[in-house]
Amino acid sequence: MKYLLSLAVRSAWNRKLTLGLTLISMALSVALLVGVERVRQDAQDSFEQSVSGTDLVVGARTSPVQLMLYAVFHIGDATNNIHWQTYKDIASNPAVAWTIPVSMGDSHHGFPVVGTTTDYFAHFHYGESAPLAFASGIPFAGLFDTVIGAEVADHLGYHLGDKITLSHGTGDIGLTEHADKPFLVTGILARTGTPIDRTVHVSLEAIEAIHLDWQSGAKIPGFSIPAEFASKFDLTPKEVTAILVGLKSRAGVFKMQRFVNEYHAEPLLAVLPGVALDQLWQVVGIAERALLAVSGMVVVVGLCGLIAVILASLNERRRELAILRSVGARPLDIFLLLSAEGLFVTLSGTLIGMVLLTAVTAIFAPLIQAHYGLIIAPKFISFDELGLLGIVMGISLLASLAPGYGAYKLSLSDGLTPRI
């Protein structure tokens, strides 16, 4: 048995060029498969942790997915806003520990502008409950101060002290500028890999201020309130778009959700962000699953190549098998000898693929994190990936039996005198 193994290895070494090539294709396809799975997993994790530590997201009544889209991802517009009084009712509920009101509708070069309070920087968490950190600067304090996300700063080349103007509405072209009220960049957030990176944050009062001389979404003609007088007005917000709510105790989450959903003064919706993000991923995750399927097929193709190479060698090896039979090898030995080869190649191919992948991720992880904010955890293999590799190994085990069986049949029919 041990000798058979050494025979298999030496025979494989004898054909190292062809087997080496199939080994490489095996290694590459495994690295691709696991790499795609890893990126997919990490993308899903970072997606589902776009917001963490928030117990409820509250908005005007709509679908949970749409609420998440605008409240957390700042995509699309809310159909309705929440009255300021409603916000105060929720914030003063005894079960509530903290709230982050957000007000949307303006943008800056396509990046969404969010009006909020400084509680945002204190309570907003993402990932495995990481707080927001400042790459430089401090939270907004003055009326026309702004804190921008990392992507906004990188993409537009902004630094602390720069002045920016906001546009009314969302989108990139054909928008009216709030040109008379420029904002001062006082803080730049560290990269998070979440929609925050693409967000411009200002105070709720600032949102009121820039719309003082506006009515029904248009500037009142011939009427303008200069920035320096804006603070003389009552800037208490009339509405907010959504509220992120943190509770004193997680146990009260369903009670609070019911309180919001049955709120008497206006129709509201409260969703648990984890559940809603999961639903949302079901929609946006399809592309990733397709990618995984494609790389799965690459593995199958690699495996087919391997089996084809081994089967093709079978004919050249008929004499060798007859010699082994003559010195006493059983047909079972012949079967094992040929199956071992396929197994050996897939096993070492898988191992090399994993080493390759680990090396590649180690090299490129900082780059990927810098450019896409996607944090790829440095690891050799995870439990889920082990399952995936288990499937690959299982299939290749079955596939490796094919040449073994072919050799078995050949050695039975050839006996001691191979016919070529």
Give the length of the chain.
Answer: 420
Q: Report how far residue 285's alpha carbon sits from residue 291's, in angstroms, rounded to the nearest whole number.
A: 10
**167 near 111, Cβ under 8 Å?**
no
Of 11 and 44, the one with the shorter C-beta distance to another protein is 11
Does 383 sit near another protein (CB under 8 A)? Answer: no
> Greatest CA span in the chain, whole angstroms?
106
Residue of 132, 206, 306, 329 interacting with another protein (CB under 8 A): 329
Task: Compute how many residues bind another protein; rule: CB under 8 A.
Answer: 22
From 205, 320, 341, 385, residue interacting with another protein (rule: CB under 8 A): 320
Q: What's the closest the beta carbon of residue 328 comes to another protein, in angstroms?
A: 2
Question: Residue 245 or residue 337: which is nearer to another protein going by CB?
Answer: 337
Determine which residue in the list 324, 343, 392, 399 makes contact with another protein, applying CB under 8 A. Answer: 324
Of positions 326, 351, 370, 391, contacts another protein by CB under 8 A: 326
Residue 325 sits in the site that holds another protein (CB under 8 A): yes
Of the candidate residues 163, 255, 330, 371, the single one contacting another protein (CB under 8 A): 330
Closest to another protein by CB, 238 vs 319, is: 319
Place of tokens 């995509």: 75
Task: Among 319, 371, 379, 409, indicate the residue that binds another protein (CB under 8 A).
Answer: 319
Nearer to another protein by C-beta: 7 or 235? 7
Give the residue among 165, 197, 196 at the shortest CA–CA distance from 180. 165
Residue 89 or 414 with smaller CB distance to another protein: 414
Whether 107 contacts 166, CB under 8 Å = yes
Distance, CA of 346 to CA of 298 (rounded, Å): 14
Q: How far is the CB of 333 from another protein (least distance, A)?
A: 8
Q: How far is the CB of 323 from another protein (least distance, A)?
A: 6
What is the DSSP code string of 114-167? EEE-THHHHH-EETTTEEP-EEEE----STTEEEE-HHHHHHHT--TT-EE--E
Q: Could you tell me the smallest distance in angstroms from the CB atom of residue 380 to another protein?
A: 34
Choice between 104 and 410, CB closer to another protein: 410
Contact between 328 and another protein by CB under 8 A: the answer reads yes
320-326 contacts at long range (C-beta below 8 A, 24 or more positions apart)? 320/11, 321/407, 321/410, 321/411, 321/414, 321/418, 322/411, 322/414, 322/415, 322/416, 322/417, 322/418, 324/7, 325/411, 325/414, 325/415, 325/416, 326/416
Among positions 332-371, residues that touch another protein (CB under 8 A) are 332-333
Asked if residue 315 binds another protein (CB under 8 A), the reply is no
Q: Is 323 in the site for another protein (CB under 8 A)?
A: yes
Q: Shortest Cβ distance from residue 129 to another protein (Å)?
A: 59
Which of 179/416 has CB closer to another protein?
Answer: 416
Neighbours of 321 (CB within 10 A): 22
Across 333-367, b (16+ Cβ under 10 Å) vs e yields bbbbbbbbbbbbbbbebbebbbebbbeebeeebee
Query: Footprint of another protein on residues 2-21 (CB under 8 A)?
Result: 3, 10-11, 13-14
**Distance (Å, rounded) from C-alpha 6 to C-alpha 3?**
5
Which residues sit at the interface with another protein, rule CB under 8 A?
Answer: 3, 10-11, 13-14, 319-320, 322-333, 415-417
